[in-house]
Structure 1
Amino acid sequence: MCDSQHVQHLLGRIATPQLLEQARELAGAQSARLLRPDQVVTLEYDSRRLNIHTDKNLKIQRLTCG
């Protein structure tokens, strides 16, 4: 099960492929997805997925599970 509390220290960092994988592992998530501003995303909830919300420059703004 994903727990985003384990990755809150990554806020403000730039999302790279390596950081996404590290965050996924630290959160205990099965998958992770990068969500940019104004990006269309599916709304299905998946408790095993880490959502990494960024600004337009890929700076991490929020980390959630679902």
Structure 2
Amino acid sequence: MAASAEYAPPKELVNVMVQSSEKLEGAASLLTMLEDKADNRRITASELAAVRCIVETCAANLGGILEHA
């Protein structure tokens, strides 16, 4: 990707970046909730897997789109 004033990233790249950013914000919120829960209760494997799934999906989406950029 060129760094110039005329460069405009492809719409698909922008969309994936925005969607991934929103998903990662959601994952961060889930982690905050799990931190609070961990003070009094156990965190289940499925709760951690949900966060992992979000992060892995974002990484795959970003990796895939950046390969084609």
TM-score normalized with structure 2 length = 0.26
| Bigger radius of gyration | 2
Higher relative contact order (CA 8 A, sep 6+): 2
TM-score normalized with structure 1 length = 0.26
* Structure having the larger proportion of residues in helix: 2
